[in-house]
Amino acid sequence: MSHRDDNRVRIFDTTLRDGEQSPGASMTLEEKLRIAEMLETMGVDIIEAGFAIASNGDFDCVNKIAKQVKNSTVCSLARAALGDIDRAAEAIKPAASGRIHTFIATSPLHMKVKLQMEPDAVIDAIHQSVSRARGYVDDVEWSAEDATRTDMDFLYRAVDTAIKAGATTINLPDTVGYTTPEEYGKMFSDVIENVANADQAIFSTHCHNDLGLAVANSLAGVMGGARQIECTINGIGERAGNAAMEEVVMALRTRADVMPFATNIVTTDILRASKLVSTVTGFSVQNNKAIVGANAFAHESGIHQDGMLKNAETYEIMTPESVGVTKTTLVMGKLSGRAAFADKLQELGYEVGDNAFQDCFKRFKELADRKKTIYDEDIIALVDDEVATASYRLQVISLNTHTSSDGTSVADLTMTIDGEERKTLVYGSGPMDAAFNGIKQLVDFSPKLVLFQVHAITQGTDAQAECTVRLEEEGRMVNGQGAHEDTVTAAARAYVAAANKLLVKRGKSPLAATG
């Protein structure tokens, strides 16, 4: 049976590689490990963990993910250069199942202008790179970068060479988001028909969203014979992004009548994965985004609401529960005890150690004292914040701000820096400015603030605020998040979270000369 007759579509997630190529989306090692854990839990077949040769940091991420993940294949990208492939092989060595993904451009434009290589030399490079990779692992993917603008006869030759050299997956990317569904589907069926050894490999889609067609093109690729889709959570990626995993998976599931293909994805984990990626990258999900947007299952008009009450199928093609949306529930109040809190964490899918549990419970009680109604979203924000910040070297202990109507504010800030308490009293134009000035003074740094975003986690004037801050220092970009019912405190926590990540990146002592 050729792979084309098999109806299983492998999900290859590249959130940690192509997704991270979105400007501003850089993630720390810890964040990548958390995302990799989520991807593994939700049943992703292949996790592209990074580009090992790109930097020591990238190598480390791929290597640590390879050590951590047991149930998904872990993959590193590599150009068609022997050094790249050796480094990728070294990075994925600890993986229970590892893949090397090597690529070279095949379109006339890329070969001439970018690579400055003759077509024959490209064929040679394909042979050499894939053979080298096969010397390390049995699972080798080869990609024809800019496949959709490649001359078809040359593409047949390139694919044939890659398969002969041992490639087990052939990826035909729409690198520039240029193709259309019909054209892309035909490209796969033509390649599969015209390359004699095509049945020895699984074909893969990789679509960029420059014309908003990435998901439609990926599905058309599957109809044309592809059995792997490369995608990212929330569709993040270079420029307009990649095909969104949640969309391709739910489209295949919901329209199995016309696309009879199955994936391994546990769809009820989709919303959690989306929230995790959006929190880590600071890329918020638009309200009307398919599957995971805040309004994806909201019904506003009277006619729709009436229909929904009579039968949800009138306006709902999939249930919110199938992608992990739980009804907004009033969870607990200040009388809820440890056992109820532990049950709630379990229901929300958290496994936290004893110390983290005690810290989360303490924060929950403090929040319950101040906030009348506590929803699942409040608990999720609180636990995510606590888990992410527990190991930070910089911590906000207390913050009091006073604002006057002339715009001047003063912040009274206490932080710990490597466990040592520091205090300051500083002015600013507005409470955020004063709080950020205080942090800059205590930490003795002055990064550029490139993004500041706030949203309310739930409804009501006592809702917790979730802030995202993006800082830049000497070309290094980091994101930080913080949640609190006081918006200024949430902003300060986000700023400090980002500052912690900068410290990790620059690797020098944060201690200011003054205390």
What are the residues binding Zn ion (CB under 5 A)? Answer: 18
Integer Cα distance of 78 and 85 in angstroms: 6
Measured from the CB atom, the residue of 173 and 224 that comes closer to ligand KIV is: 173
470 within 8 A of 477, measured Cβ to Cβ = yes
Measured from the CB atom, the residue of 146 and 377 that comes closer to ligand KIV is: 146
Measured from the CB atom, the residue of 53 and 345 that comes closer to ligand KIV is: 53
Minimum distance from CB of 230 to ligand KIV (Å)?
A: 7
Task: Output the CA torsion 183→185→191→196 (10° steps).
Answer: -150
Residue 93 DSSP symbol: T
> Taking CB within 5 to 8 Å according to partner kind, which of Zn ion, ligand KIV, none is near residue 289?
none
Q: Looking at 99, 206, 371, 493, which residue binds ligand KIV (CB under 6 A)?
A: 206
Measured from the CB atom, the residue of 62 and 488 that comes closer to Zn ion is: 62
Half-sphere exposure of 76 (CA within 13 A, CB side): 33
The SS3 assignment for 205 reads: strand
> Taking CB within 5 to 8 Å according to partner kind, which of Zn ion, ligand KIV, none is near residue 232?
none
Measured from the CB atom, the residue of 18 and 40 that comes closer to Zn ion is: 18
Measured from the CB atom, the residue of 154 and 445 that comes closer to ligand KIV is: 154
Q: Which residue is nearest to Zn ion (CB)?
A: 18
Residue ranges in 97-126 that form contacts with ligand KIV under rule CB under 6 A: 103
Show the site string, 152-171: x = touches ligand KIV by CB under 6 A, - = not.
-------------------x
Residue 463 DSSP symbol: P
Measured from the CB atom, the residue of 18 and 160 that comes closer to ligand KIV is: 18
**Helix residue ranges, H only, 135-243:** 152-164, 181-194, 214-223
Minimum distance from CB of 237 to Zn ion (Å)?
A: 6
**448-456: strand order across its sheet:** 448-456, 465-473, 476-484
* Greatest Cα-to-Cα distance within the chain, rounded to the nearest angstrom: 77
The SS3 assignment for 158 reads: helix
Three-class DSSP labels, 278-309:
HHHHCCCCCCCCCCCCCCCCCCCCHHHHHHHH
> Taking CB within 5 to 8 Å according to partner kind, which of Zn ion, ligand KIV, none is near residue 433?
none
Minimum distance from CB of 176 to ligand KIV (Å)?
A: 8
Q: Total number of residues binding ligand KIV (CB under 6 A)? A: 9
Under the binding rule (CB under 6 A), the answer on residue 145 touching ligand KIV is yes
**Helix residue ranges, H only, 110-201:** 119-134, 152-164, 181-194
Minimum distance from CB of 397 to ligand KIV (Å)?
A: 44
> Taking CB within 5 to 8 Å according to partner kind, which of ligand KIV, Zn ion, none is near residue 97?
none
Show the site string, 27-66: x = touches ligand KIV by CB under 6 A, - = not.
----------------------------------------
409 within 8 A of 429, measured Cβ to Cβ = yes
Integer Cα distance of 85 and 137 in angstroms: 11
> Taking CB within 5 to 8 Å according to partner kind, which of Zn ion, ligand KIV, none is near residue 218?
none
Q: Looking at 143, 232, 263, 437, which residue binds ligand KIV (CB under 6 A)?
A: 143
242 closest CA partner among 277, 286, 206, 270: 206
Measured from the CB atom, the residue of 35 and 360 that comes closer to Zn ion is: 35
* CA distances (Å), origin 50, targets 76, 174, 419: 5, 20, 33
Minimum distance from CB of 207 to ligand KIV (Å)?
A: 8
Integer Cα distance of 510 and 445 in angstroms: 8
What is the dihedral sign for C-alpha 195, 198, 199, 204?
Answer: negative
Measured from the CB atom, the residue of 51 and 261 that comes closer to ligand KIV is: 51
Under the binding rule (CB under 6 A), the answer on residue 173 touching ligand KIV is yes
Under the binding rule (CB under 6 A), the answer on residue 179 touching ligand KIV is no
> Taking CB within 5 to 8 Å according to partner kind, which of ligand KIV, Zn ion, none is near residue 142?
none
Q: Checking phi first, is residue 418 left (phi over 0); if not, alpha (psi -120 to 50) or beta? A: left
Tokens representing residue 24 in the block: 């501003």
Minimum distance from CB of 145 to ligand KIV (Å)?
A: 4
**Cβ contacts of 305 within 8 Å, gap of 6 or more:** 299
Under the binding rule (CB under 6 A), the answer on residue 247 touching ligand KIV is no
User: In the complex, which residues of this chain contact ligand KIV (CB under 6 A)?
Assistant: 18, 103, 143, 145, 171, 173, 175, 206, 208
